[in-house]
Amino acid sequence: MTGERWRDDGLRTLLILGILLILALVVSLSLGRYPIPLRALLARLFGVPFESSRTEAIFFNVRLPRIILACLVGTSLAAAGAAYQGVFQNPLAAPDILGASSGAATGAALAILLRLSGFMITLCAFIASLLAIALVMFIGERARGKKVLGLILAGLMVSSLCNAGISFMKLVADPNNVLPEIVYWLMGSIAKAKSRDILFVLLPLLLGLTPLFVFRWRINLLTLSEDEAQSMGVNVRRTRALVILSSTLITAAAVSVSGVIGWAGLVIPHLTRRLVGNDYRRLMPASMLSGALFLMIIDDVSRNLFATEIPLGILTALIGAPFFLWLITRKGDLR
């Protein structure tokens, strides 16, 4: 009876999150410096064109790509954070624990320093993120002792090296033009989102999110001891590698188009645990939905609160850090 009630509650929570995401999507499409009435949006769904070509252009070329990208990035960061927390059995694990964000930031900073185009900045960030993770995996496999601890320490070391490289590039960058662009990218933003950005990250995100969703029940077994998991017929080494590679891929893709956005991958999994529990069969889809909803709302605040947009990384830190403190001071374990 308890199991049936748990399943019903979990499905109800997922349904509520899905409905909230759809409602937030509709509202977000109407918000902005050029508001689009909700009735016009609903009419467009039934094939009625917008009243002006300007509205049509803003909707399809600016508003819609930005909101879709916010959902994809939020989904990816939250899913990666939840997966890392299970694999490493560490409540402080986040998508940048293995250096993916630092690697992407290094690649983007280098591309900006070389005055490359916007697409090349994204591409360099993605490639550098994958290279950083490959270096972490190479070092982690050769580290003595526990492999998980070796990976975490290797991630810290590679992140430190990347941050040193970023600091050097900021030091030598042109302070009038290049340096502000590097700093702004590091603060995280999807203000320049284009349809090509969605096409660029869509395949990596599908390749990474699909295994995390399909094999999410196996992450539950990774939270057990290695002997217990193997006794249940699970290849721990292979499963851990699959989860880490999938999480790394989606983190690299997300950061390459959005810049460094902290806290979303740390706070959202903990929040969803309060809603659906620790079972990854419910936690993973709930984290994906919550991550998309969270970052979409944060982006709405970013582009509507003041005349000048606030970088997403600043807002997620301002909201995420106090909220995380509230979570850990509430009664109950932080897991």
- Please give the pLDDT value at position 192: 87
Type of residue found at 111: A
Average pLDDT over residues 191-195: 89
Q: Tens digits of per-residue pLDDT, 16-74?
A: 999 999 999 999 999 888 888 888 887 787 777 887 888 888 888 899 999 999 999 99
Number of domains in the chain: 1
Q: Assess whether pLDDT exceeds 60 at residue 112.
A: yes
Q: Please report whether residue 275 resides in a domain.
A: yes
Q: Is residue 335 part of a domain?
A: no
1: pLDDT strictly greater than 50: no
| Confidence at residue 34, expressed as pLDDT on a 0 to 100 scale | 86
Cα–Cα distance measured from residue 27 to residue 79, given in angstroms and rounded to the nearest whole number: 24
**Looking at the domain assignment, is residue 4 inside a domain?**
no
Q: Does 3 fall in a domain?
A: no
Domain extent at residue 119: 9-329
Paired tokens of 217:
């029940």
The verdict on residue 1 lying in a domain is no
- As given in the structure block, the two tokens for residue 4 are 């049936």
Q: 159 near 96, Cβ under 8 Å?
A: yes
What is the pLDDT averaged over residues 263-268? 90
Average pLDDT, the chain: 88
Residues 257, 121: Cα–Cα separation, whole Å? 9
CATH of the domain at 127: 1.10.3470.10
Q: Would you say residue 83 lies in a domain?
A: yes
Q: What is the mean pLDDT of residues 293-321?
A: 90
pTM of the model: 0.91
